[in-house]
Chain A
């Protein structure tokens, strides 16, 4: 079927979309936005986290058809006019990235946290990132990055 949705502020259209496919598949394979990662396809890892109408969700658990008429914001849409978002900059500076597979999802989740809670406690950071798994870093540098971003 044909789908119309807004992605990172732009109206986008996709044809021949199979309804059983996920929003993650639509973004990566049809709309050329491979920032969101597919690591589990079952909601466990958070690597596919995107904003759907302003709310962070696992895009692997949203049916593509459910995104019709909605607004999606992916990790690609966080940088404004070429300037990385403060969370992205803080991840770079803190060295919170190793293989990088978890990074897009963590950045969207942290971005949402800081929009809701400007000065989060460590407990709040952990809670907010509980749905994002990282197999490399051990999380310490990630926590540092979020604390750094919050101070900006």
Chain B
């Protein structure tokens, strides 16, 4: 049953004594089908999962939705499963804490990013579905979703569609999510190859990224001629970005030197060039968290370092010859 309650909406700034009232509906579907029907009927309803973005908006009276659509009663959103080809279908409502504890080995990049989100309390509630729903360029999962070649599954009563992460983000806090759609899952390819995520902030906990970077190696692509390196830049552009030039450069370097079959330490010049190309791919702005120039500089450093760590791991896995 999808229960609708009609209640009183007070003006929160003065709501202890205010007589100003406003109707709001609280929709509490218990299955995906009910949720989609509710969203089709009420496209204005604001979905709420972990609430770690939505509640801040409500508490500070920045949003006054006519309806809230609580997704936490839908069991299937909080599940993950194998896709059959080694990948993982991660329900939009799986918390960061569960990603870390249950999928730390299988989704190393996403788990690394999850560990940097907020605090234990935030990770216990916050979800990847919510990160995507908010579509903030600073969201920590986005660089990893780009680097790993993940896709976002969107559903409505009209049907299901799967959008590559790269096509999901369209502007600052804007995505291709239609008003009648919900994010149901994220599809992440399986991997045994190294992935890294790193983020700059003023503290090790509870920071919105000044900028962030993710890298995923795709050795299985070496034979196909496709890119063997995936990248994702966070908080340095209107949307999360891929560094396509940097990916092309490194793919070619690694192929020419036959690095995938007999991996050796990377030349410092290669790591630096990669870092520079990543920095060049960003389009940062000056804001309270950092200047554009600092972000570019920091991204070059993050890219160089994460490549170093990921490549070192690949070498260790493949051979002991790598110095």
A-to-B contact residues, CB < 8 Å: 1, 16-20, 22, 41-44, 46, 49, 55-58, 60-63, 65-66, 68, 109, 112, 127-128, 130-132
Chain B residues lying within 8 Å of A127, measured Cβ to Cβ, are: 120, 205
The winner among B5, B59, B60, B124 for most chain A CB atoms within 10 A is B59
Contact, CB under 8 Å: A131 / B119:
yes
Contact, CB under 8 Å: A66 / B56:
no
Given the contacts A42-B60, A63-B55, A130 and B7 also touching, CB distance less than 8 Å: no
User: Shortest 6 CB-CB distances between A and B: which pairs?
Assistant: A131-B119, A130-B205, A1-B5, A19-B26, A61-B55, A41-B59
Least Cβ–Cβ distance between B266 and chain A, in angstroms: 31
Bitwise interface map of B from 190 to 210 toward A, beta carbon under 8 Å scored 1, else 0: 000000000000001110000
Question: Could you say which of B45-53, B237-245, B285-293, B302-310 contacts chain A?
Answer: B45-53
B312 lies within 8 A of chain A by Cβ: no
Least Cβ–Cβ distance between B199 and chain A, in angstroms: 15
Bitwise interface map of B from 259 to 271 toward A, beta carbon under 8 Å scored 1, else 0: 0000000000000
Bound CA span A22–B121, Å: 15
B296 lies within 8 A of chain A by Cβ: no
Q: Which of B26, B120, B205 contacts A56 (CB 8 A)?
A: B120
B-to-A contact residues, CB < 8 Å: 5, 7-10, 12, 15, 24, 26, 28, 48, 50-52, 54-56, 58-60, 64, 68, 70, 72, 97, 118-122, 124-125, 204-206
Chain B residues lying within 8 Å of A62, measured Cβ to Cβ, are: 51, 55, 125
Contact, CB under 8 Å: B51 / A56:
no
Given the contacts A46-B119, A109-B120, A130-B204, A61 and B68 also touching, CB distance less than 8 Å: no
Given the contacts A42-B56, A55-B124, A60-B55, A131 and B70 also touching, CB distance less than 8 Å: no
Least Cβ–Cβ distance between B117 and chain A, in angstroms: 11
Offer 17 A-B interface pairs, CB within 8 angstroms, sorted by A. A16-B8, A18-B10, A18-B24, A19-B26, A20-B68, A22-B59, A43-B52, A43-B55, A49-B121, A55-B97, A57-B125, A58-B121, A58-B122, A61-B52, A63-B48, A66-B51, A127-B205
Chain A residues lying within 8 Å of B28, measured Cβ to Cβ, are: 65, 68
Q: Which residue of B lies closest to A61 (CB)?
A: B55
Chain B residues lying within 8 Å of A46, measured Cβ to Cβ, are: 119, 121
Chain B residues lying within 8 Å of A55, measured Cβ to Cβ, are: 97, 124
Given the contacts A43-B121, A56-B124, A65-B26, A19 and B52 also touching, CB distance less than 8 Å: no
Bound CA span A32–B60, Å: 23
